[in-house]
Structure 1
Amino acid sequence: MITLIQHAEVFSPKALGTPALLVSGGQIADISSTIDIQGTAVQQLDASGCYLVPGLVDSLAHIIGGGGEGGFRTRTPELTADDAFASGVTTLVGVLGTDSITRTLTNLLAKAHALTEEGLSCYCHTGSYQIPVRTLFPTISEDLLLIDKFIGVGEVAIADHRSSQPTPDELKKLAAEARVGGMLSGKAGIVSVHVGPAPAGVSLLLDVAKSSDIPLTQFYPTHMNRNQQLVEQGFAFLQAGGWIDFTTSTTPQELAAGEVQCAKALHQAWQQGLDCSRITFSSDANASLPLFDDKQQFIGLGIGRIASLLEEVVAAIRLGVPLPVALSVATTNPARVLKLPQKGELAAGKDADLVLLDKTTLAVRAVMCKGIWRYSDGSLPVQVQRDSLFV
């Protein structure tokens, strides 16, 4: 099917005005003010009243579920492709969490393939929370070089009582191997780092960069909005040349305890004139979010939501962050850090991963993944294809 989308206001995420966009063979064939193509094989869509933006790139999701810190019954469910589509997410990266015993890399890899078969672009990281990390082959480099879906390592935990308390030398060796594996495979080889609430924050990463040849850009610290102190550490990390990631899934309890809402953290960075091109949002979808009463007793479990990714992008726009900047933290920026050149941008030759947003509400109206419509709210005449066998 050849699809011609017209009359939308296009953000690549840079503002492009209202050109027509032509999709063919799963890629964007052209973006131009005048595209003259007709025929029965051409689907023409009038997208008046919509913003046309890139599909969101979610750099951290627990696609096989997470949790378990409160016992077996606190294990969270797997992510579904339909949830991703409805949230405007077309590309995502799956990781293991605290539990790398009952949740395994083979399970993670199989789920990534399953989501890909359902229409998403799904990748994953080798490794685990603890050091020494889990791998499928004997080494990280072999996993990155020989397993197509593996593009990085992590999430490795620091500054958290649940981490393995890694030393600088352990982290150096891990990062060095990931770096070489990435170079040999042509992948990012990034080290995704879970940063916990301990005051040390990202100091370990700074120590490694200072005492070795490993650059800060080898590390990709996430959960950097746990509290204002960590946000400020993240801004310093950014100014030193690194990347930082804010987590969109949260709970009212965490916000009340001092967690900084993603949208507000991005707004701070933008107001301070920081380089927002190296800031990303990720959903932490299907992670466990423990809930406590006023006596700090465990009373239940929230679950990370993939829908929170777009919700926080929208919230940032409502706070006054320019739309292209807010979009970039969930499109172009994560695509760059993950070294996925076909993703996160609307341009000729890129994958046709598109989202149509209502101009007034910024709600998702339709989603296309690699040239195929995968979601519609029913307001546009698009034919949705679903490849799931479950009904």
Structure 2
Amino acid sequence: MGPELDLIVRGGTLVTARGVGRADIGVAGGQVVEVAPEITQGARGELDARGLHVFPGVIDAHVHFNEPGRTDWEGLATGSRALAAGGGTLFVDMPLNSTPPTVTRAAFEEKRALAEAKSVTDFALWGGLVPGMVDHLPDLAQAGAVGFKAFMSHSGIADFSSVDDGTLEAGLRAAAALDLPVAVHAESDELTARLAAALRSAGRTDIRAYLDSRPVAAEVEAITRACALAHGAGARLHIVHVSSGAGVAEAVAWRARGTRVTVETCPHYLTFTEEDVERVGATLKCAPPLRAGADLGALWTALREGRVDTVGSDHSPSPADLKDRADFFEVWGGIAGVQSTLAALLTGAEVHDLPLPRVAEVLGTAPARVLHLPGKGDLAPGFDADLTLVDPGRSPLLTRENLYDRHKLSPYAGRVWRGEIRRTLVRGRTVWDGQGFAEPGLGRLARPGPALPKTTV
């Protein structure tokens, strides 16, 4: 007889990186303590999961909740609720667009305190790598940062400068000494700025002009440069929001040479194409931009074959007025999608033959592994009881009325998505029950630990 159980989740079909199978889950003290075909002992509470898929909670390693500072864009309370409604149990907030940006320990501690007070899910925090602040990286690491984010092109935010090659190289060496990753937005600033200036001088400010100003070549060039610097520094490099098959191929080629590089893509690159941007407009503007259908297919293939490691939403919303500009270059470039990541993967998985264990891996197990988050990302004894219960037989229509982020300006709205999120639990406590949310203040900071083993078979 094991410890007294707080909760048993009975009869669900567990979906993990190791496979799919029916089992009960026993929870005590916020952790999974038993997984078995049938748990015979009693518990203080039970959840009937028969007919449901039980996934590890989604870990979204790429969000912009913007607090403190730009909470009129998004906040920790609204952002974490939207995450929970989409099956998410942990978010990792980027160091911009907060004001101040998270480039000092004081800024980190301010954001941590706000998240502890307002979030309904667990969280982790990226620190920032910007010129003149490399010396602050050890303090950020000591505070609990999972790694450091750098922009190789203009960030769009005045108080978060892009890195020159010297700063990036110095930051990679400092991060290597701390055994933390550097996450890079990889686009060539020189190339994109030159192309944008040429198009605008010719009077082109339309959607197609913006798309043409940020070609795949700009992404590949920056990935090559970042990988070369990381290889020389012996650093862990995480390339965020890779938008193209060529970008993935370049990173994988460096990985084959021994470079410690991982690749993230986003659900919007797996769902929409540049034709959708031209049809829909500002809600689908992002950088790197959406690509042609061939790249969408290449990303699904790379995801299926294990060449893409993680999928993060890159949730980066703004007030509606920043999306309403005649000059498309002036439109805020961010997509609101934190509530739709699991839905987009489940929907696309059927079309693109992505096995459900890979969905569980890229949305839970792999982010925990890449960021060295102990006790997260799996349904096994010793792991936190972060669970997402999904009804695979339902395909609900997502409307603006059932979005929970601040502005509800999502390109995912108006579509039918496979799978209904019935319940989300963080450390064994329900934070979303399909109707409403737990009170804020449940979230805890997840700190990186030693490297985690790979759990796939």
TM-score (normalised: structure 2): 0.68
After superposing the two structures, state which structure 1 stretch, 9-18 or 113-122, moved more. Answer: 113-122
Written as runs of structure 1 = structure 2, the 5 A alignment for 1:193-232 is: 193-196=184-187, 197=214, 198-199=218-219, 200-210=221-231, 212-215=232-235, 218-225=236-243, 227-232=244-249
Bigger proportion of residues as strand:
1
**C-alpha spacing 1:21/1:260, structure 2 compared with 1 (3 Å):** farther
- For the residues of structure 1 that align with 2:292 and 2:343, how far apart are their CA atoms? 15
Please tell me whether residue 175 in structure 1 is matched to residue 172 in structure 2.
Answer: yes
Structure with more helix by fraction? 2
Q: Could you list the runs of 5+ residues in structure 1 that have no partner in the other structure?
A: 69-73, 183-188
Check conservation: 1:224, 1:234, Cα contact below 8 A: no
- The match for 1:157 is 151
Preserved contact between residue 365 and residue 377 of structure 1 (Cα < 8 Å):
yes
Q: How many residues align?
A: 358
Aligned-pair distance for 1:260?
6.2
Matches within 5 A, 1:15-94: 15-38=19-42, 42-64=44-66, 76-80=73-77, 81-94=80-93
**248-257 vs 194-203, which moves further:** 248-257
TM-aligned CA deviation for residue 190 of structure 1:
1.2
Per-residue deviation, 1:324? 0.6
C-alpha change, 1:159 and 1:67, in structure 2 (3 Å) is: farther
Q: Would you say 1:368 and 2:439 are equivalent positions?
A: no
Q: Give per-residue Cα distances to partners, 1:214-251, cap 9 Å, x unaligned.
A: 24xx11110211x4543443443454452001123577
Rounded to whole Å, the distance in 2 between the matches of 1:352 and 1:304 is: 27
Instruction: Please tell me whether the aligned partners of residues 263 and 315 of structure 1 are also in contact (alpha carbons under 8 angstroms).
Output: no
**For the residues of structure 1 that align with 2:323 and 2:23, how far apart are their CA atoms?**
47
Take 1:97 and 1:347, find their aligned partners in 2: how far apart are those partners? 34
Identity percentage over the alignment? 20
- Which residue does the alignment assign to 1:14? 18
* Per-residue Cα deviation, 1:268-308 (whole angstroms, up to 9, x for no partner): 2156x4x34x5111111234597588964646776422113
Residue of structure 1 equivalent to 2:190: none
Show structure 2 runs of 5+ residues with no match: 188-213, 278-283, 395-418, 443-457
The match for 1:345 is 378
Task: State the partner residue of 1:311.
Answer: 343
Tell me the amino acid that sits aligned with residue 84 of structure 2.
F
CA offsets, 1:246-269, max 9 Å, x none?
Answer: 123577425896436897454221
Q: TM-score, normalised by structure 1?
A: 0.79
The answer to which of 317-326 and 109-118 deviates more is 109-118
Q: Report the CA distance shift for 1:47/1:377 in structure 2 as closer, same or farther (over 3 A).
A: same
Distance in 1 separating the partners of 2:11 and 2:296: 29
Per-residue Cα deviation, 1:54-90 (whole angstroms, up to 9, x for no partner): 001111111226999xxxxx97222432112111111
Q: Equivalents in 1 of 2:256, 2:318: separation in Å?
A: 31
Q: Take 2:262 and 2:87, find their aligned partners in 1: how far apart are those partners?
A: 23
Structure 2 distance, partners of 1:46, 1:203, is 50
RMSD: 3.5
Q: State which drifts further: 299-308 or 356-365.
A: 299-308
For residue 349 of structure 2, give the secondary structure of its aligned residue in structure 1: helix
CA contact (8 A) 1:153 1:191 kept: yes
Q: Quick check: 1:157–1:164 contact (8 Å CA) kept in 2? A: yes
Aligned pair partner of 1:328 in 358, 361, 366: 361
CA contact (8 A) 2:56 2:388 kept: yes
Cα distance in 2 for residues equivalent to 1:66 and 1:292: 24
CA distance in 2, matches of 1:90, 1:260: 32
Residues 14 and 103 of structure 1: is their aligned pair in 2 closer, same or farther, counting only changes over 3 Å? closer
